[in-house]
Amino acid sequence: MGTWDRIKAALRREKRELDDTVGDAKKRADAALDRKERELNATPEEKLAMEQQRGVENDADFEAIRKRIEGGGGAS
């Protein structure tokens, strides 16, 4: 395999990796836009349920942080 063939192969790998990265970013952006659109079109009851769910998720995140702090603090 010549130098040019190795360069082309490396460029093809880089292109595939970039395509994957762009594809993943596009999927995340589409999901975020879909979520925002659902939130905008939601009824007041649905909006309240969404906020309550966010609160539950935030509580879980804070609880995990609290456990890490308490567990990793060592003996006092």
Write out the two tokens for 54: 């966010």
Q: What is the pLDDT of residue 73?
A: 54
- Per-residue pLDDT of the chain in tens (76 residues, 90 and over written 9): 799 999 999 999 999 999 999 999 999 999 999 999 999 999 999 999 999 999 999 999 999 999 999 986 555 4
Place of tokens 């594809």: 23
Domains of the chain, residue spans: 3-71
Tell me the C-alpha distance between 41 and 63, whole Å.
Answer: 32
